[in-house]
Amino acid sequence: MSNHPSLFAPLQLGGRLLKNRIVLPPLTRQRAAQPGDVATDLMAAYYRQRAGAGLIVTEGTQIEPRGKGYAWTPGIHDAAQIAGWRKVTEAVHAEGGVIYAQLWHVGRVSHHALQPGGGAPVAPSAIQAHKVKAFIETGPGAGMLVEPPVPRALSVAEIGEIVALYAQAARNALAAGFDGVEIHAANGYLVNQFISAHANQRTDEYGGSLANRLRFLNEIVQAVAAVVGPERLGVRFTPLFAGTDEDRVYIGLVEDDPHTTYLEAIAVLERAGVGYLSIAEADWDNAPDLPPAFRRAVRDTFSGKILYAGRYTAERGARLVEEGLADLIAFGRPFIANPDLPQRIANGWPLNPLDASTLYGGAEAGLTDYPTYAHSTQGEAA
């Protein structure tokens, strides 16, 4: 009998049987091959090591060159990138794992140095992002955080082109062997920028009312669902409530009425029959918890699978599953440092500590060199 049995009950998702409720969430690692932003054999080894998860969602993967906000992140918009990701999916499938690609466009959270031709990043409105940085390369293996410039507002025609790029990225993901895809609509990136009244001040059909601000999300969901099937589609949100630390990088956008905003956004997914909803919670010290009333309203609004990510312990995650408020629980930093995290949770084994200095960029160190529990105990015995 394992510890936290609710986390080890199988679950059907998108035509696949997940072996447990433990998820490796999207975690930026910045180790794609250069030039070309191509997934590597090393990345395949990293994901393969963590195939004990019920579900793996890849690091954010840009759907087009303009969607890039950080050096060395992978793409999924050309043939070489598709081939690189196929190595990853084959490695995960060889271990009996299930893996989804996260489709990413950063919108205004970019920089001229990352944009094709050195142009301005694109966004719903020409409003500069604050309290957030892009990351540019300054030399081989070296880079720096930089302030995003004022973006260029997209035309209506260009919005339609980006929706089509999401659909093409979904086709590319299927060609690369992924079991499904997740739309990144969180953390202040492009889809989140359209949703937010703080970033979207358009006066056309994509701005103004909440229904208009959700139009871009709805069009992407419809287009991607038509490619992969709605049951093989997930969408990630960050519904942040009062009390968040606005100096925190990657916090997303805090709406004046996050409860209403995100329940309406979730209703878009429900109408489309989306397979799962991923909610990324604030995960820094003293961050506020999601209001219990919001969690209950999410369950009442959405009939698909619900995934929560944040600073979850196994105990806290299991409790949310047992209460019927969650179906899946993601563990980010613990899964980076513990490739055998599900086994450690099941057996109550101690966890490796995380080395935060090796999170972004580099090679094997901090990516594939964390020991499994069996390996580390054998080392002690020796």
3-state secondary structure of 350: coil
- Helix intervals (H) in the chain: 41-49, 79-94, 156-175, 190-195, 210-213, 215-228, 258-272, 292-301, 314-322, 333-337, 341-347, 373-381
Q: What's the DSSP call for residue 214? A: T
Q: What's the DSSP call for residue 123? A: E
Q: Which tokens in the block code for residue 330?
A: 């993601």
Amino acid residing at 203: T
Burial classification of residue 80, based on how many CB atoms lie within 10 Å of its CB (0-12 exposed, 13-18 middle, 19 or more buried):
middle
Q: What's the DSSP call for residue 89? A: H
Q: Which whole-number Å values give the CA distances from 92 to 89, 98, 370, in the listed order? A: 5, 7, 18
Q: Which residues of 309-346 are buried (b: 16+ CB within 10 A; e: fewer)?
A: bbbbebeebbbbbeeebbbbbbbbebbbbbbbbbebbb
Q: Among all residues, which ones are annotated catalytic?
A: 189
Q: What's the DSSP call for residue 38? A: B
Give, in degrees to the nearest 5, the angle at Cα 360 between 354 and 366. 40
